[in-house]
Amino acid sequence: MNKDGRYIRCPECGEKTDVKVYEDTTLLHFPLVCPHCKKEFIINVIQFKMTVDKEIDN
Ligand SMILES: [Zn+2]
């Protein structure tokens, strides 16, 4: 079975983050911190489809 993971891209700057997901990975209300622009988001990922719950202002 071919299992290729993908790195989640930052919704703000579009760069790859350190978070890797697979097709069967489900993230709900996951705190994503971008290592490039340092923005923090609460995201959901279901089958590579990401939605942003909210953006956190630090
Ligand atoms: Zn970013």
How far away, in angstroms, is 6 Cα from ligand 1 center? 16
Å from CA of 7 to ligand 1 middle: 13
pTM: 0.88
Q: How far is CA 22 from the centre of its chain?
A: 12
The pLDDT confidence band at residue 47, using thresholds 50, 70 and 90, is: very high
- Centre of ligand 1 from the C-alpha of residue 54, in Å: 14
Q: Which residues, by Cβ under 5 Å, contact ligand 1, an ion?
A: 10, 12-13, 34, 36-37
Question: What pLDDT sits at residue 2?
Answer: 55
Quick one: 1 exposed, middle or buried, by C-beta within 10 A (0-12, 13-18, 19+)?
Answer: exposed
Q: How far apart are CA 20 and CA 40, in angstroms?
A: 16
Handedness of CA 13, 18, 24, 28 (dihedral sign): negative
Give the model confidence (pLDDT) of 20-34 as tens digits: 999 999 999 999 999
